[in-house]
Amino acid sequence: MRVVVIGGSGHVGTFLVPRLVEAGYEVVSVSRGRREPYRADPAWRSVEQVTLDREAEEAGGTFGERVAKLEPDAVIDMICFTPESASQMVESLRGKLRHFLHCGTIWVHGHSTLVPATEDLPRHPFGEYGIQKARIEAYLLDEARRGGFPATLLHPGHIVGPGWAPVNPAGNFDPRVFERLARGEQLSLPNLGMETVHHVHADDVAQAFVRALDNWGAAVGESFHVVSPAALTLRGYAEAVAGWFGKTASLRFTSWEEWREGVSEEEARGTWDHIAHSPNCSIAKARRLLDYQPRYSSLEAVRESLGWLIEHGEVEAEWKTGISS
Ligand SMILES: NC(=O)c1ccc[n+]([C@@H]2O[C@H](COP(=O)([O-])OP(=O)(O)OC[C@H]3O[C@@H](n4cnc5c(N)ncnc54)[C@H](OP(=O)(O)O)[C@@H]3O)[C@@H](O)[C@H]2O)c1
């Protein structure tokens, strides 16, 4: 079976493409050829690499046709952000494909209501990214359920892996937050630190895509959360990270207004986006229908990523003896 991965060399593709090759799929990876996967893997030698710029091709209305010409049995679309983009794929691939898998996001939910959130809850997306992804989800599910287009949506949480910075215990990407906790210095958190983040290791996202391909009958016409088994509160996350360095977290809690004054605009925006969503998603459906079995808890995924950042000098900290990535 020939699988075309659109955006195959990124966070998820780094793990997904080798997994597909190992599972016996013939793999084509589409990208602009500007970046390498985060991790070298001999599996890439048997991957056909196709250089295409989606934005440029879409502007000319040719992207869908270019993908169709690759003659895929399945397409995994990692980089679709508008319903118009999704519709170009559907119109070009309708009737020609066994399976179409779209990478969504748990941001389709907007703010949490019942937690852990299940896939069937009404959507309350906010922010351009989440709104567009929720519109794509509604469109693809309708095409699948009414029009017979074989679409599946997988919604990852905050993707973590060695090579890039994870969402930190303050809900943004500032690596100094890890350094403060490692040194036992005081860290301010907004509100009571009880808002949540929900990570997932990139390899677990990759696993879910392969399991969805392998479970066509259960996957088509459905969306699935792809996250770790449990979300973290910011407070619990900070306490765990400090513990990895033999420290007790020294936490100070302030109102949002006071907290945002102490950080940059970018960090405040990142934290607000995460705590306003406060994701906490159930993986029961993916476990039941796809046999999704995440290998990493949120903390295990973050610890591996933090280990990489420390080894590469991007975070200055020393593990407590006996604990390492
Ligand atoms: N990051 C997160 O925490 C997170 C959380 C939830 C959901 N998601 C979803 O995950 C998906 C992104 O997956 P990812 O994080 O694995 O991707 P990524 O790391 O951003 O990688 C993007 C991939 O697409 C290629 N690419 C980018 N622009 C392109 C273009 N114009 N034409 C062709 N190829 C292009 C890149 O290679 P080149 O640069 O070489 O072209 C690369 O292979 C998105 O759908 C996002 O909504 C992400």
Give yes or no for a contact between 140 and 75, defined as CB atoms under 8 angstroms apart: no
User: pLDDT for 296-307, tens place per residue?
Assistant: 999 999 999 999
Q: Is residue 322 scored above 70 in pLDDT?
A: no
Tokens of 178: 């890890």
Nearest CA to ligand 1 atom 35: 31
Q: What is the mean pLDDT of residues 209-222?
A: 98
Q: What is the mean pLDDT of residues 260-282?
A: 98
Which of 17, 32, 80, 131 for mutating ligand 1's site (highest number of atoms within 8 Å of CB)? Answer: 32
- Gap between the Cα atoms of 109 and 123, Å rounded: 5
Scan for tokens 């513990």, then name that residue. 243
Find the 226 Cα to ligand 1 centroid distance in Å.
Answer: 16
Quick check: pTM over 0.75?
A: yes
* pLDDT bracket for residue 325 (50, 70, 90): very low
The per-residue pLDDT of the chain, averaged, comes to 97
User: pLDDT for 37-57, tens place per residue?
Assistant: 999 999 999 999 999 999 999
Pocket lining for ligand 1, CB < 6 angstroms: 7-13, 31-35, 52-55, 78-79, 103, 105, 156, 158-159
Find the 69 Cα to ligand 1 centroid distance in Å.
Answer: 22
* pLDDT bracket for residue 14 (50, 70, 90): very high
Check residue 95 and give its pLDDT.
97
Q: What is the mean pLDDT of residues 144-160?
A: 98
Q: Is residue 119 scored above 80 in pLDDT?
A: yes
Beta bridge partners of 89: none
Scan for tokens 């084509």, then name that residue. 28
Closest to 253 measured CA to CA, from 191, 169, 196, 181: 191
Which of 6, 29, 31 for mutating ligand 1's site (highest number of atoms within 8 Å of CB)? Answer: 31
- Taking every pair of C-alpha atoms in the chain, what is the biggest distance, in angstroms? 59
User: pLDDT for 57-101, tens place per residue?
Assistant: 999 999 999 999 999 999 999 999 999 999 999 999 999 999 999
Find the 7 Cα to ligand 1 centroid distance in Å.
Answer: 6
Q: Phi-psi region for residue 131, left (φ > 0), alpha (ψ -120 to 50) or beta? A: alpha
* pLDDT bracket for residue 320 (50, 70, 90): confident
Domains, the chain: 2-159+199-226 (3.40.50.720), 165-198+231-278+296-311 (3.90.25)
Q: Name 146's Cβ contacts closer than 8 Å, sequence gap at least 6.
A: none
